Structure 1
Amino acid sequence: MRMIDQTAGYSSRQPGIVLVRLVTAGLKPLAALWKALGNRRVVNGLHDLTDSQLADIGLRRSDLYDAFGTSSFFQDPSSHLSLTARTRHSDHDMITKL
């Protein structure tokens, strides 16, 4: 087989598959951005909860401010909040077991 006959894994007989792969690859970053912005909107809604409601889910109001302060506009602050709540929960479990 000559070098000119070799391709990078794309066949000229399947142009539709190539197009689907290119479109899918281009949409993945947009989908991730859309998800991050949606999660950001939901986390922003947590500001409407009372302090006791936040405590029920393992958060403090300062955690909300920290999550928004440490993430840029396009980042997802919900991962920071879930990590904070899990850490606080595991710390609380360790203290109560002593």
Structure 2
Amino acid sequence: MRTTQHVLDLDLVAGKQSYAPRTVGVVAMLTSVWRQLRNRYAISRLNDMDDRQLLDMGLKREDVREAITSPFFDNPASYLTRASRNRASLFYKGTRHD
């Protein structure tokens, strides 16, 4: 009988979350989705630039396409940052590949 009482007590303690934590969770998720959409829109605007402008930033058109086609919840800016840093390190090592 004591085991049953403890289980019931645990169920009462672990009950439903209050309204505030659920609201915070939903707002955080919506904020994350909004940020992802905004970042993807900004990156898609890079397609409007010509190849020379992209190269000034250390990017190529293929890098932009890869970032746009990345999975939705991956940060597309990380693809661009990695490509730009790799291209810069190759440039400073003297093995430029443009």
The whole-number CA distance in structure 1 between the counterparts of 2:72 and 2:54 is 23
- 1:81 to 2:87 alignment: no
Deviation at 1:7, TM superposition (A): 2.8
Name stretches of at least 5 consecutive residues in structure 2 with no aligned partner.
none
The whole-number CA distance in structure 1 between the counterparts of 2:34 and 2:75 is 10
Equivalence for 2:57: 57
Deviation at 1:55, TM superposition (A): 0.7
| TM-score normalised by structure 2 residue count | 0.70
| TM-score normalised by structure 1 residue count | 0.70
Q: Residue 19 of structure 2 aligns to a residue in which SS?
A: helix
- 1:7 to 2:7 alignment: no
The whole-number CA distance in structure 2 between the counterparts of 1:52 and 1:43 is 16
Which aligned segments of 4 or more residues in structure 1 are displaced greater than 3 angstroms? 2-6, 73-76
- Asked if the contact 2:43/2:68 (under 8 Å) is kept, the reply is no
Q: Which has the larger radius of gyration?
A: 2
Determine which structure has greater relative contact order: mean sequence separation of CA pairs < 8 Å that are 6+ residues apart, divided by chain length.
Answer: 1
The whole-number CA distance in structure 2 between the counterparts of 1:75 and 1:33 is 11
RMSD: 2.7
